[in-house]
Structure 1
Amino acid sequence: MQTPTGLSDDTARSVDGTLDRPRPAVGPDSATRGDMKVFLQDISLSAVVAGFIATVISYAGPLVIIFQVAQAAQLPHEILSSWVWAISMGSGVLGIVLSLRYKVPIVIAWNAAGSALLISLLPGMSMGEAVGAYLISSAAIVLIGLSGTFDRIVSKLPSAIAAAMLAGILFSFGTGLFVSLQDQPVLVLAMFITYLLGKRLAPRYAVLAVLVVGVSIAMALGELQSEALVVGLAVPVWISPEFSWQVTLNVALPLLMLALTGQFVPGVAVLRNDGYDTPASPLLSSTGLGSLLLAPFGSHGLTLAAITAAICTGREAHEDPAKRYIAGVSGGVVYLVLGLFGATLVSIFTAFPAALIAALAGLALLAAIASSLQGAMAVPQDREAALITFLVTASGMSFLGLSAAFWGLIFGVAAHLLLGLRKPAASPQPQPSTLESGQ
């Protein structure tokens, strides 16, 4: 069997993307013992640490956006705790199961771009309506995964339009970083300088360093609300769904598009870049099913991780690509532990000053904003359409009860189609003859 690029010569993959390895052939018990023996042999400190770091960075960055959403929507502590529990447990279980199933470092995370979308939309609806939108979006992902049409659907949407929509959604987080400067200049400037130094010296840990410095300075300034800290396990809260066509168009459709284009596409690209040919469709259907089951507890969607996944799929996790799946398992275990203590995690972030949360979110998303803007302007013939998408989405406008993200997508695609129409070839003008011209 031909070995895919990036995999060692003694490690090949079957047609379903799993690793072909010698297995004991004597009964299910022997096979189970053989699998466990291989798993224990594959464990390495570097892979375990890679999974730990990837998960911690997810909490240090994208989770902050969820707390901003909760603040904007004034969600009760119990609902926020349930939300964190749902996305953590879902990410953990799916990461462990899929990594073991395919012997690939598969890192699951929540829809970070979708979280950013909710900061302007969730305050205007009930949690029941939001859950209804989550269910519709998740069901659509399951169907897309089962049908195997993922690649075809994504190919229909111009990449520049998708990138511009994401950039428009994230734009307010970038500006929020500098708006927070006027409230807490010492805190925000220290975090900003730490970020720049971190990107220069240790880019992978820049956001983590920003969090540590921000918390330390907030403590020194007496800005932490220590009375808000509690220690306790998360208790999932059931939220009955409500459905409406406005919320479906406003929330479910953008969530679906952001999950597919902003998470699954780059997530699969990260795997492919490191030589893993795991089929995308089962990953979509699995995460969609997990999202569907956890939506009534607040989960807005589980997807493939992209940026943090690169920590687990690269050489830093293990020299042998066939043993890097341990990083996916390790990250999943960390998710489960932190998810169980979701109430404590929520109370910790609740104790942070608002400026710290805003600055941390803005700094954590700077790279994503830059990447999205670069992708939006990458195709010369789509630049105007992408610019229109970005401006409409970033404006925060609402028309006919529909959000800016929806209209950004509509206006952008319309501009792409109209500007892409070929102009009719001009018919050649008859040239006057010498006699007619008098020459």
Structure 2
Amino acid sequence: MLKDFSPQALVMGLLVAFVGFASSFAVVVHGAVVAGATEAQATSGLMALSIAMGLCGIILSAWKRMPISVAWSTPGAAFLATLTGIEGGFPVAVGAFILSSLLIIVAGLFKPLGRLVASIPPALASAMLAGVLVSLCFAPIKAIGFDPKLGGPLVIAFFLGGLINRLLAVPAALVAFAAVVAFGVEIPNGAFAGVGEALWPQPEWVTPQFTLAGLVSIALPLFIITMASQNIPGITVLKVNGYEPPPGPLFTMTGVFSLLAAPFGGVAVNLAAITAAMCAGPDAHADPKRRYWAGIIAGVFYVILGLTAGGVTAFVALAPKILIEAVAGLALLAAFSGSAVSAFKEAETREAAAVTFVTTASGVSFAGVSGAFWGLLAGGAVMALGAVSRRLRG
């Protein structure tokens, strides 16, 4: 195994960990806080997720000898950010994380459930994801309206970084965010007292509460979003690069690590898509059989970053909420545009996708159940009616 190690894999693994963590940690923190987490619980969740996805990536890459990249569920965290006023607070959300993790495990072990999720029309799954993401994607513009001197540099840095390299867009926005907080935000006296202790976060156990509303409103949409927008595309990326892993064990393993992270505030971990392409591509090594070390190295650095999550969240907490949302929104622009294009690509399913999108994006809950679930249900009903209408006309 050591003979397969290479400098290329080391560099790529480090880059993957940096991009994966830096591009969306703000989404994870913001989603947890909106779901009712305290700052300590949000920090604990970030740490748990980073360590869980690091260990999961190390185990899967070494076990399968494939460059399997694991990430936290960024779309899942963005979904949390759309939920306000969860009855029962963060413990109910944590209970939903656990139920979602169990569903992922079952999907890996029980092939019919995995096939059922895969059979959800891509247009509807993409429309639901686009509806979840769109409200956060407004945040950069709102940040400029809030204060152009604070929001403007984030947007400018994002696009300038993207001109150099697409992967540099979000890190550039993060550098601008750090500069804006350091030089443009009034920091209270004593804000940095005890930073040394805060750098190493303490795990915060959250006793879960299980409710029917939590299952239907949070767990089911989170499960569908994680499987449809992360796990299944992650398998596809590996196949495109010449790897043929059996999906079931990979889904099960990510579900197990999601389950371990959930009581500490972690939303979910899953197979990565963008960073998976980085690990599985020729830049990781010319020989496909030696690229798995990129997945292992990325996992090691994820664990290290997780152990310093306290300093990250302490610094982010100094910024106005709208700036945190703006960074999250910039990080999600690519995911939103991709899901929107996929949702409305086919004319035959466009109306059903539109119904799914607007219902989800409305953020309106019915009977305590979130709009994401109703959006998928409403879009499915419209699609079924369209099929019946076409059959009758035929």
TM-score (norm: length of structure 2): 0.93
CA RMSD of aligned residues (A): 1.8
Closer/same/farther in 2, CA of residues 151 and 243 from structure 1, 3 Å limit? closer
Closer/same/farther in 2, CA of residues 326 and 392 from structure 1, 3 Å limit? same
Count of matched residue positions in the alignment of Structure 1 and Structure 2: 388
Do structure 1's residue 93 and structure 2's residue 51 form an aligned pair?
no
Closer/same/farther in 2, CA of residues 227 and 379 from structure 1, 3 Å limit? farther
* Cα pair 1:228 1:347 within 8 Å, conserved: no
Match of 1:177 in 2: 140
Match of 1:145 among 108, 130, 133: 108
Match of 1:129 in 2: 92
Closer/same/farther in 2, CA of residues 181 and 246 from structure 1, 3 Å limit? same
Match of 1:114 in 2: 76
Q: Distance in 2 between matches of 1:423 and 1:307?
A: 40
Match of 1:288 in 2: 255
Q: Distance in 1 between matches of 2:328 and 2:244?
A: 33
Match of 1:53 in 2: 15
CA deviation profile, 1:4-53 (whole Å, cap 9, x unmatched):
xxxxxxxxxxxxxxxxxxxxxxxxxxxxxxxxxx32x2222221222222
CA deviation profile, 1:288-310 (whole Å, cap 9, x unmatched):
11112221111111111111222
Q: Distance in 1 between matches of 2:56 and 2:358?
A: 36
**Gaps in structure 2 of 5+ consecutive residues:** none
How many Å apart are 1:225 and its aligned residue? 6.0
Match of 1:163 among 126, 132, 136: 126
Q: Distance in 1 between matches of 2:249 and 2:290?
A: 21
Closer/same/farther in 2, CA of residues 91 and 245 from structure 1, 3 Å limit? same
Q: Which amino acid aligns with 2:214?
A: V
Q: Distance in 1 between matches of 2:387 and 2:259?
A: 38
Q: Distance in 2 between matches of 1:223 and 1:57?
A: 29
Match of 1:398 in 2: 365
Do structure 1's residue 351 and structure 2's residue 311 form an aligned pair?
no
* Cα pair 2:33 2:42 within 8 Å, conserved: no
* Cα pair 1:224 1:353 within 8 Å, conserved: no
Match of 2:299 in 1: 332
How many Å apart are 1:175 and its aligned residue? 0.8
Match of 1:42 in 2: 4
CA deviation profile, 1:306-333 (whole Å, cap 9, x unmatched):
1122221112221211111111111111
Q: Distance in 2 between matches of 1:252 and 1:217?
A: 36
**Gaps in structure 1 of 5+ consecutive residues:** 1-37, 427-439
Bigger helix fraction: 2
Q: Distance in 1 between matches of 2:227 and 2:377?
A: 17
Q: Distance in 2 between matches of 1:71 and 1:200?
A: 32
Do structure 1's residue 274 and structure 2's residue 241 form an aligned pair?
yes
* Cα pair 1:223 1:352 within 8 Å, conserved: no
* Cα pair 1:122 1:130 within 8 Å, conserved: no
- SS at 1:397's partner residue? coil
* Cα pair 2:344 2:353 within 8 Å, conserved: yes
Closer/same/farther in 2, CA of residues 213 and 419 from structure 1, 3 Å limit? same
- SS at 1:243's partner residue? coil
Question: Sequence identity, in percent?
Answer: 37
